[in-house]
Structure 1
């Protein structure tokens, strides 16, 4: 069932409201946790998961040196000792770079310089990340600084206070303003689903973000628990599918936070394949926001080639 979304004052926002069957979404999402993948396909999915990852450092103690270190890892995800061991394996394919690194606006120029010519994107959080609690003018300055520094992707957070107060038009207008400020940079809109309360709200926030111009919709900042969950991700994927069916436009998706092992990443990729299809099985339309995920995926890659695990000290600790 769909009904027009109204602001608290009764004015129309122009977005249809879709009711979500929470029980059905949970059952459907749970189905993917039971899926098995043939060994021949598993290695391909692990490589794809690496190519879809965004490595992130968003701490108050971040330094240019730390950003440069993360950029090196983004370009060469496997540590030298692990790479050397894998190169001795018959049929080994080089480990690909990840999709992007994500940093605060102040550190964007350092990431741009470190990644020059690599093909790895530079993303930056903006709009008073992670709370979004600042004036729109201040949040737009944040965006302009990141774009001027060279970021080609902007991760914005929606104003959850306005959303939960029913001020949907305000949320829509703010996303649209940020999209305009991005210029040629791609906009990923973070819903912070752990604060939205219901799957109905997740669906509505997804539809608002897409209608306002998001290139990607993203679950979480990684600062709130719960972050990405299978039911939430499924609802967001369905919003993208419905939009594509209406318009033909492809919107990207990024589950972020809480995806920590290779098995989970493969489950999410199965969900993506069966909900949106093979056209979305690309870093241009799907990302994992889970820096903690990379080492476990690399462990599984080594196991797929050799039948055993590489020793733990062979992986990056950052």
Structure 2
């Protein structure tokens, strides 16, 4: 817990929380997990209208959201230069004049998320910032490469300097109800991650039902996931409020049963500041203030930061600026 690497990266959950060690597979608990879809959808639909913050309170919540962003680039045309610019934005996510007016300094994003080949440039660009590098792995986004290669990919990314690994599960295990296979797969990935903490992507848009989402969430936490994450961002349906409600209630149940806190990461399709506020309100209501920290909550996003910065400038100046004034790099 006191190693140099872990101390240097304050966003990592194992710095401030006992790391989730996992537990033996409890299929009785898993099979009891159900999901009342209509009730879940009603609860999720009520949230944006009931929870609204304005003025200084809104600015404070938006600054909080920035610290919870995994600033991401996962494009086929990524270059070293693009990653370096993204890392510069992660280190200084809001223009200095806006922060000065708000009386805030020193905020960064939660992490920078890249493909394996871009780990080394990202580590170099973030040196000394305290911002960890996350790498997508295990045959992202489909997770269908040979199993030994997926495990080896994790090891290579950790060796290259990634402090967080975003793995993808085999959706077929969920769709066929092969819970033992899913547990074994995620457990093996967790072992390969070593000291790097593991964010487990469920690809919820491809799991068929909210009940499957609930059960897969429990399995992944039992197998030692540090975070559970909605999506790769490449599915037709990515993060939604109903899916989020199911996953964070599974997190709450797991914490009540084991005493270990597991993080949550919605990813894909979250691009507006108002959406970020809704997700933060949901986390506060369902899990409490402790989860409103970057060691336990992240947004997987690429364009969200730009809209948040525009909203903060509007708060300061009273006028909206063009989006090109808040480029990612």
Which TM-score applies when normalising by structure 1?
Answer: 0.91
In structure 1, distance between residues paired with 2:62 and 2:173: 39
In 2, distance between residues paired with 1:251 and 1:12?
17
Counterpart of 1:16 (choices 21, 30, 46) is 30
Give the aligned CA root-mean-square deviation in angstroms: 1.7
Q: 3-state DSSP class of the match of 2:301? A: coil
CA distance in 2, matches of 1:174, 1:286: 24
Cα separation, 2, equivalents of 1:56 and 1:149: 18
Distance 2:173 2:252 in 1: 26
Say which is worse superposed, 301-310 or 132-141, in terms of deviation: 301-310
Aligned partners of 2:307 and 2:323 also within 8 Å = no
How many Å separate the matches in 2 of 1:292 and 1:246? 37
Structure 2 residues not aligned, in runs of 5+:
1-24
Deviations 1:272-298 (A, max 9, x none): 000000011100000001111111101
Partners of 1:258 and 1:87 lie apart in 2 by: 27
Report how many residues are paired. Answer: 303
Structure 1 residue 170 corresponds to structure 2 residue 181: yes
| Stretch of structure 1 that moved more, 163-172 or 190-199 | 163-172
Q: Aligned partners of 2:285 and 2:322: how far apart in 1?
A: 35
What's 2:41 paired with?
Answer: 26
Distance 1:95 1:199 in 2: 39
Task: Return the alpha-carbon distance in structure 2 between the equivalents of residues 182 and 87 of structure 1.
Answer: 36
2:90 to 63, 71, 74: 74
Q: What secondary structure is seen at the aligned counterpart in 1 of 2:198?
A: strand
Gaps in structure 1 of 5+ consecutive residues: 1-10
Structure 1 pair 14–170 and aligned structure 2 pair: CA distance change class (3 A): farther
Separation in 1 of the partners of 2:109 and 2:128?
Answer: 14
- Does residue 251 (structure 1) correspond to residue 267 (structure 2)? The answer is no
Question: What do residues 244-294 of structure 1 show as CA deviations (whole Å, max 9, x unaligned)?
Answer: 111111000000011110111001000000000001110000000111111
Partners of 2:30 and 2:219 within 8 A in 1 = no
1:83 corresponds to which of 96, 104, 124: 96
CA distance in 2, matches of 1:88, 1:289: 27
Q: Is 1:286 matched with 2:297? A: yes
State whether residues 157 and 189 of structure 1, in contact with CA within 8 Å, keep that contact through their aligned partners in structure 2: yes
> Is the contact between residue 47 and residue 95 of structure 1 (CA under 8 Å) also seen in structure 2?
no
CA–CA distance in 2 between the matches of 1:95 and 1:294? 16
Aligned to 1:119: 130
- Structure 1 88/281 Cα, relative in aligned 2: closer, same or farther at 3 Å? closer
Q: Which residue of 2 aligns with 1:196?
A: 207
Which 10-residue stretch deviates more, 268-277 or 132-141?
A: 132-141
For normalisation by structure 2, the TM-score amounts to 0.88
Whole-angstrom CA distance in 2 between matches of 1:41 and 1:66? 33
CA contact (8 A) 2:306 2:323 kept: no
